[in-house]
């Protein structure tokens, strides 16, 4: 019995999401995974993705039948600081293009590259677009997209 969790973290880190910025140029976000999460984000880091595992994982252990594990992962994309006074009307189309590009890549690694079994593993997501404070309590806000991913697996 081996969990998919660590492999999936590596997959997310390696996932290159390209999208069109407000000028129409193709951009790829820098990635900071669970091992290298930054205490603060500087303009030079942007755009970036911060991948972390949230604290509330759960599961069930079945007698003689394995473990049903639920892992929660957050992939936070930060596009630009709110302090630069760029209108949300300009940023929102870019964030929507990023969201679509992210989902395309996520589908690719989940279904095509690894061919994960939908009988024993599922991946659910929620996506929120808007302003995010990073790090929490810092008072520094960014335009971005937060993907909350829930990996369910029977191991």
pLDDT of residue 88: 73
pLDDT of residue 118: 55
**Which long-range contacts does 1-7 make (Cβ < 8 Å, 24+ apart)?**
1/66, 1/67, 1/155, 2/155, 3/69, 3/71, 3/153, 3/155, 4/116, 4/121, 4/151, 4/153, 4/155, 5/69, 5/71, 5/151, 5/153, 7/114
What pLDDT tens digit does each residue of the chain (155 aa) get?
577 888 888 889 999 999 998 889 999 998 876 666 666 777 778 999 999 887 677 767 777 777 788 889 999 999 998 876 667 777 899 999 999 999 999 998 887 666 665 556 788 899 999 999 988 888 989 999 999 998 888 77
The CATH classification of domain 5-154, taken from the options 3.40.50.150, 3.90.1150.10, 1.10.10.10, 3.30.70.1700: 3.30.70.1700
Phi then psi dihedrals of residue 112, to 5 deg: -95, -55
Q: Can you give the pTM of this predicted structure?
A: 0.85
Domain boundaries, given as residue ranges, for the chain: 5-154
């Amino acid at each position: 019995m081996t969990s998919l969790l660590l492999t999936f973290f590596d997959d997310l880190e390696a996932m290159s999401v390209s999208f069109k910025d407000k000028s129409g140029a193709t951009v790829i976000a820098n990635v900071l995974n669970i091992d290298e999460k930054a205490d603060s984000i500087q303009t030079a880091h942007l755009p970036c993705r911060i991948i972390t595992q949230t604290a509330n994982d759960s599961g069930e252990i079945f007698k003689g039948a394995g473990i049903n594990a639920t892992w929660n992962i957050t992939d936070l994309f930060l596009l630009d600081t709110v302090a630069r006074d760029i209108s949300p009307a300009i940023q929102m189309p870019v964030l929507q293009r990023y969201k679509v590009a992210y989902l395309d890549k996520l589908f690719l690694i989940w279904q095509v590259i690894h061919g994960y079994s939908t009988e024993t593993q599922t991946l659910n997501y929620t996506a929120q677009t808007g302003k995010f404070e990073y790090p929490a309590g810092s008072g520094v806000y960014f335009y971005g997209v937060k993907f909350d991913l829930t990996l369910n697996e029977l191991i």
